[in-house]
């Protein structure tokens, strides 16, 4: 497997380089300390994953709206979730909730292979184009599909991450996690009270760990209606 391409920061404007450095310092202060994760975030241009109206806020540690009524997570949450996932270069990762593709791009710089599922076809099309054409990341497969069902044909996975909140731990996805694998996801029955958790599948069973309070869009079954069809 060829390595993920380096983001050419040397040719970036001084203000952009300085902004990326400030973001990394901010992530460190919020608990993201894994050097590989910080490097992956620093080399992933978040502005590419935002609509033009929000690109000047790409280096702020805030969630921002994207198409189809969805959001791109704040970088510190992306960092904390990626760090908790403990991705190694040999990992095959499943992401549920591709969105604009930003989290998948970060994961692609850390993992052997990433499969990411998005129920909104327009988002999946745009994320696929960004990852392949703009960033030349060819170890990511973007799938327009029902993320709640996972991807049984490619299971088991070494790591599974959800960027949408399940009401309870999704058994169908857990069944696709390899023994020794890790799943990170937000869980909660409302958008007001959610908890980010990490689940390890051990030979003896499942080990649960609470990580942080969070707020994500809900995990929904089925495909979203495509406005370009019909």
More confident call, 64 vs 18: 64
Q: Give me the mean pLDDT over the 104-110 stretch.
A: 98
Q: Give kind and range of the element (H or E) at residue 44.
A: none
Q: Give me the mean pLDDT over the 77-86 stretch.
A: 98
How many domains does the structure of the chain reveal? 1
Give the residue ranges of DSSP H helices in 13-74.
14-29, 35-42
Looking at the domain assignment, is residue 220 inside a domain? no
Looking at the domain assignment, is residue 225 inside a domain? no
Query: What percent of the chain lies above the pLDDT cut of 70?
Result: 91
The per-residue pLDDT for 6 is 47
Q: How far is CA 201 from the centre of its chain?
A: 20
Looking at the domain assignment, is residue 164 inside a domain? yes
Residue 225: pLDDT band (50, 70, 90) is confident
Looking at the domain assignment, is residue 230 inside a domain? no
128-139: pLDDT as tens digits = 999 999 999 999
CATH, residue 153: 3.40.50.150
Q: Give me the mean pLDDT over the 199-216 stretch.
A: 95
Q: Give me the mean pLDDT over the 32-48 stretch.
A: 95
Work out the burial of residue 23: count CB atoms within 10 Å of its CB; fewer than 13 is exposed, 13-18 middle, 19 or more buried: buried
Please pick, among 73, 76, 149, 190, the residue that the annotation labels catalytic: 73
Looking at the domain assignment, is residue 172 inside a domain? yes
Q: Give kind and range of the element (H or E) at residue 105.
A: helix 102-108
How would you classify residue 164: left for phi > 0, otherwise alpha for psi between -120 and 50, otherwise beta?
A: beta
Whether 73 sits among the annotated catalytic residues: the reply is: yes
Q: Where are the beta strands (DSSP E) in 53-164?
A: 64-65, 71-72, 92-96, 113-118, 140-144, 157-162
Looking at the domain assignment, is residue 221 inside a domain? no
Q: What is the mean pLDDT of the chain?
A: 91
What range defines the domain where residue 124 resides?
Answer: 9-214
Looking at the domain assignment, is residue 228 inside a domain? no
Query: What percent of the chain lies above the pLDDT cut of 90?
Result: 80
159 three-class SS: strand
CA distances from 144 to 98, 122, 177 (A): 9, 9, 21
Tell me how far apart the terminal alpha carbons of the chain are, to the nearest angstrom: 40
Residue 222: pLDDT band (50, 70, 90) is confident
Looking at the domain assignment, is residue 152 inside a domain? yes
Q: Give me the mean pLDDT over the 158-172 stretch.
A: 93
The per-residue pLDDT for 9 is 52
């Amino acid at each position: 497997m060829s390595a993920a391409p380096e983001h050419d920061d040397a040719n970036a404007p001084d203000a952009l380089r300085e902004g990326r450095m400030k973001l990394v310092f901010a992530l460190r202060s919020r608990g993201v300390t894994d050097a590989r994760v910080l490097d992956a975030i620093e080399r992933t241009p978040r502005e590419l994953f935002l609509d033009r109206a929000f690109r000047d806020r790409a280096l702020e540690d805030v969630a921002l709206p994207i198409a189809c009524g969805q959001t791109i997570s704040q970088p510190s949450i992306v960092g904390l979730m990626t760090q908790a996932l403990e991705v190694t270069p040999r990992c095959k990762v499943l992401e549920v909730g591709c969105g604009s593709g930003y989290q998948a791009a970060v994961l692609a710089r850390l993992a052997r292979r990433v499969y990411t599922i998005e129920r909104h076809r327009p988002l999946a099309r745009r994320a696929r184009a960004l990852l392949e054409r703009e960033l030349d990341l060819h170890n990511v497969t973007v799938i327009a599909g029902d993320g709640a069902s996972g991807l049984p044909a490619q299971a088991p996975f070494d790591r599974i991450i959800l960027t949408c909140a399940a009401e309870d731990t999704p058994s169908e996805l857990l069944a696709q996690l390899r023994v020794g694998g890790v799943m990170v996801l937000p869980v909660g029955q409302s958008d007001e009270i959610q908890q980010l958790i990490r689940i390890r599948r051990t030979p003896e069973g499942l080990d649960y760990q609470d990580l942080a309070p969070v707020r994500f869009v809900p995990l929904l079954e089925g495909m979203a209606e495509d406005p370009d069809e019909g």
